[in-house]
């Protein structure tokens, strides 16, 4: 039988036996940590902090062959319509070179009421992690870098967002400053974060758009070089797919796409200094990575007409700029 206890902090403790990878395991949940260990030798123990859990979902095993959709399920332990006999924990593992990867483990029990109770408890805990985004506005630059932005969204990012239960409004950019214009005109009230799939230029558009929008909302003139520009309410996430991904690398320690998506799901955040360039009393640009003038500026400007070459356009332009 499952034991359910509440400590002085009203934090639930669960204990039960599940089948994990064809082995009977005692599974504990206490103080934000999930532990499972084999009942028989060779004894093996796994510890999983809930902060590393992406989501918990019902599995594919159902009693009596009934196949209800998950959205129709009730998690009430007393309801006769609760039919799944296993659940799947989706979690992330921190590996070498700062990379995070998605993993999952299935836990099975003969009593679907126990499965429903565990799923409800774990989901309630995850819902308490209020810094995690529930709804994001995501921009995809299909032209940046090697033009893999849409493929990255479809193959790597969208499946993880679906698993984590994050509602995503995805928009594909069509032109320069498209992101900035959307951020200046869209109602952002219901969003918890703005994310872009692209390179440093795409990220710069998001930064410029959000800072300008926040300045306008707070009646601060961004063209005044002496003004303290406000920090946007919404955090910004970047999933690298550009020719250069220096900001993503600086934030995550890697340009791995799955790592970036996992950090966004976790709601991880870090401060980022940005600078502004003014000409007289006109704001030209906000930037977070590099400002170039002279040779490097000429190379970047010339390379724009060779975007079809991908990252190699910088070397090509650099060779012929004198």
Catalytic machinery residues? 200
Q: Are β-strands 236-240 and 193-198 bridged in parallel, bridged antiparallel, or unpaired?
A: parallel
Give the dihedral sign, CA 109/112/114/115. Answer: positive
Paired residues of 169 in beta bridges: 137
* H helices present in the chain, as ranges: 112-127, 149-152, 158-164, 178-185, 200-217, 246-252, 257-266, 295-303, 312-320
Q: Work out the number of other CB atoms within 10 angstroms of the CB of residue 278.
A: 14
Cα–Cα distance measured from residue 279 to residue 163, given in angstroms and rounded to the nearest whole number: 47
Cα–Cα distance measured from residue 108 to residue 125, given in angstroms and rounded to the nearest whole number: 20
DSSP H or E segment with residue 49: strand 45-49
DSSP H or E segment with residue 32: none
> 114-148 burial, b for 16+ CB within 10 Å, e for fewer?
bbbbbbebbbebbeeeeebbeebbbbbbbbbbeeb
Contact 14, 118 (CB under 8 A): yes
Q: Are β-strands 33-38 and 45-49 bridged in parallel, bridged antiparallel, or unpaired?
A: antiparallel
Q: What angle do CA 258, 260, 264 make, to 5 degrees?
A: 115
* Residue whose entry in the numeric block shows the structure tokens 């870090």: 270
């Amino acid at each position: 039988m499952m034991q359910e206890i509440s400590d002085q902090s009203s934090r639930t403790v669960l204990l039960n036996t599940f089948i994990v990878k064809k082995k009977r395991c005692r599974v504990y949940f206490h103080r934000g940590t999930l532990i499972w260990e084999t009942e028989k030798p060779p004894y093996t123990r796994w510890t999983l902090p809930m902060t590393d859990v992406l989501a918990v979902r019902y599995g594919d095993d159902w009693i009596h062959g009934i196949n209800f959709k998950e959205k129709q399920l009730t998690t009430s332990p007393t309801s006769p319509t609760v039919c799944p006999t296993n659940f799947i924990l989706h979690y992330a593992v921190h590996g070498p070179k700062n990379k995070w990867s998605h993993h999952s483990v299935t836990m099975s029990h003969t009593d679907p009421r126990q499965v429903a109770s565990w799923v409800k408890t774990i989901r309630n805990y995850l819902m308490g992690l209020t810094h995690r985004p529930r709804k994001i506005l995501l921009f995809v630059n299909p032209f940046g870098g090697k033009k893999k932005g849409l493929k990255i969204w479809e193959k790597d990012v969208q499946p993880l967002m679906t698993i984590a239960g994050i509602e995503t409004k995805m928009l594909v950019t069509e032109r320069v400053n498209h992101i900035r214009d959307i951020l200046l005109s869209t109602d952002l009230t219901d969003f918890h974060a703005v994310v872009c799939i692209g390179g440093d230029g795409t990220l710069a558009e998001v930064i410029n758009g959000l800072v300008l929008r926040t300045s306008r909302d707070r009646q601060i003139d961004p063209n005044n070089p002496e003004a303290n520009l406000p920090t946007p309410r919404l955090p910004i996430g970047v999933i690298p797919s550009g020719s250069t991904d220096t900001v993503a690398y600086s934030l995550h320690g890697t340009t791995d796409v799955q790592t970036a998506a996992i950090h966004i799901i976790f709601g991880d955040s870090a401060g980022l200094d940005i600078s502004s360039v003014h000409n007289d009393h006109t704001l030209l640009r906000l930037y977070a990575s590099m400002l170039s003038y002279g040779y490097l500026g000429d190379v970047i400007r010339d390379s724009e007409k060779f975007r079809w070459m991908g990252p190699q356009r910088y070397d090509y332009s650099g060779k012929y700029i004198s």
